[in-house]
Amino acid sequence: MQLRKTRDVRIGSVTLGATHPVAVQSMTATRTQDLEATLRQVRLLEEAGADLIRIAIDTKNDVKALAWIRPQTNANLVVDLQENYRLAEQVAPFVQKLRYNPGHLYHLERSKPIAEKVQYLVDVARAYDCALRVGVNCGSVDPDKLSKYASDDSITPMVESALEHCSMLDEMGFDRYVVSLKDSDPNKVIEGNVRFAQVRPDVPLHLGVTEAGMPPDGIIKTRIAFEQLLSRGIGDTIRVSLTLPFEKKGDEVTVGRQILDDIANGRFRSVPKFEQTGLNIISCPSCSRVENEAFIDLAMSVREMTEYAREHRITIAVMGCRVNGPGETDDADLGMWCAPSFVNLKKGPATIGQFTYDEILGRLRTELDRLIEEKSAGHRPA
C-alpha cells in the first residue's frame, strides 16, 4: 500500500487528506421536496455510518426542503449544484460542501467567463465556511475539452478539465477543494485518477464509479477501481453508487466500509484489469431527480429480461432522469433514460423513440435481439 500525499480539506466535522481515514459518503435518492422521505433517507445513511451525505438541489423549493431538513440532523451535508449553480448562495448556509460540475458550469450563462462563475462559488464557499468539490463526469465534460482530442479518448478531456479548475481555484487562493473524475467504466476511473494524481498529488480525490448498476455487478466494478487506486495511495473519500430500493440505500455505505476494510487488510479480489466479457448493464444510483420511481423496478426488470443475452458483449444503460440520462447513455449500445410517463430508448447516440413504462421492456427486447443479430453478422449499422 502506497501512502497518500494529499493535503487536508475540512468538510464540517470530517477532514479529508493523507493524515485522515478515507471517508465514506452517499447521496439521498428521494425527491428532495418529499420531506419525510428525504429525512428518513438521511437518517438511514447516518445510521449506516456515512461521513458525508449529499442532496441534489435544483430549485428554490428544494432549498426550502433543505432548510427544513438541516435542523433535524447533525450530518455533514453536501449539495450537488448541477443545473443551477446560482442557488449556491441560498444553499450554502445549510451545508458543509458544494459540488459543481465544470461541464454544467460551461453551459450555464455562456456569455460569462467560467473563471467568473468559479469566483462566485469560491466567494460563497468562503462566506459560509464550505468546501468545494470539482466533480468531473464522463457524460458531461466541457465540450471545448472534448473537441481537442480524438473521440475515443474520453480520459484526457476529463483530466484536463479537472486540472484547469484546480489552477483556477489555486489562483483565487482557495485550497479547500477536492476533485472527482468519474466514469461508469472502472478502467477509465483508474486511469483518469492515476493521471490526475501524478500531476496533482496534493489534491484530495473523491473516488466513484458512476452508474455502477445493481449489486453484485455494481459492487464488483466499484471494488476493482477502489482496490487499484487506494492501494496506490490515491483516494481520500469514496462513494459507492448502486441502484437500490430506497430502504436499502444504506448499503452503499456498508459496502464502501467493507471494501475499505478488505483493502486495509490485504483482502484483494480484483485482477488488474476489468475486461468486459459479456453483457454489461450500467444504471444510475438514482437521486432526487429521478423522474419516476418506477425507474428502480425498470432497472431490475432490464437485468432479469436480458439474462438470456449475458454472453454477448453489449452495454445497456438505464438512467433515471433527463439531467444526466441523455449524455450518459450515448456510449451504451442501448440506452434508456426516464421521463415522468415514458422512457426514451436509444441505440448509441441515436434516439429510437419514447415508450410507456409498460411498453419499454418489449421494445428493448426487440432492439436487443436485432443488435445481437447484427453483431453476429459482423456489422453494426450506424
> Which residues form the interface with ligand SF4 (CB under 6 A)?
284-287, 289-290, 319-321, 323-325
Tell the smallest beta-carbon distance from residue 81 to ligand SF4 (Å): 12
Around Cβ 255, how many Cβ atoms within 10 Å? 23
Report the residue number, 140 or 228, with the smaller CB distance to ligand SF4.
140
Report the residue number, 280 or 324, with the smaller CB distance to ligand SF4.
324
The backbone torsions φ and ψ at residue 205, rounded to the nearest 5 degrees and listed phi first, read -115, 135
Tell the smallest beta-carbon distance from residue 333 to ligand SF4 (Å): 18
Contact 97, 133 (CB under 8 A): yes
The C-alpha atoms of residue 346 and residue 382 are separated, in whole angstroms, by 12
Closest CA to 10 of 20, 26, 136, 118: 20
Report the residue number, 229 or 290, with the smaller CB distance to ligand SF4.
290
Report the residue number, 228 or 329, with the smaller CB distance to ligand SF4.
329
What does each C-alpha distance from 305 to 51, 83, 346, 368 come to in angstroms? 37, 34, 18, 11
Q: What is the torsional sign of CA 345, 351, 352, 353?
A: positive
Q: Where are the beta strands (DSSP E) in the chain?
A: 9-11, 14-16, 23-27, 52-56, 77-81, 97-100, 131-137, 177-182, 205-207, 237-239, 280-283, 315-319, 334-338, 343-347, 350-355
Using DSSP's 3-state secondary structure scheme, residue 10 falls into strand
Tell the smallest beta-carbon distance from residue 177 to ligand SF4 (Å): 22
Report the residue number, 263 or 336, with the smaller CB distance to ligand SF4.
336
Report the residue number, 197 or 287, with the smaller CB distance to ligand SF4.
287
Spell out a b/e string for 311-342, using b for 16 or more CB atoms within 10 Å of the CB, else e: ebebbbbbbbbebbbbbbbebbbbbbbbeeeb
Report the residue number, 98 or 163, with the smaller CB distance to ligand SF4.
98
Report the residue number, 104 or 165, with the smaller CB distance to ligand SF4.
104
Tell the smallest beta-carbon distance from residue 257 to ligand SF4 (Å): 22
CA angle in degrees (0–180, nearest 5) for 72-76-77: 80
Tell the smallest beta-carbon distance from residue 215 to ligand SF4 (Å): 16
Tell the smallest beta-carbon distance from residue 319 to ligand SF4 (Å): 4
DSSP state of 21: P
Contact 32, 38 (CB under 8 A): yes
The C-alpha atoms of residue 208 and residue 186 are separated, in whole angstroms, by 9
CA angle in degrees (0–180, nearest 5) for 106-324-366: 140
Tell the smallest beta-carbon distance from residue 10 to ligand SF4 (Å): 27
Tell the smallest beta-carbon distance from residue 185 to ligand SF4 (Å): 16
- Cite the DSSP H helix spans in 172-293: 186-199, 217-230, 251-264
Report the residue number, 250 or 285, with the smaller CB distance to ligand SF4.
285
Tell the smallest beta-carbon distance from residue 189 to ligand SF4 (Å): 16
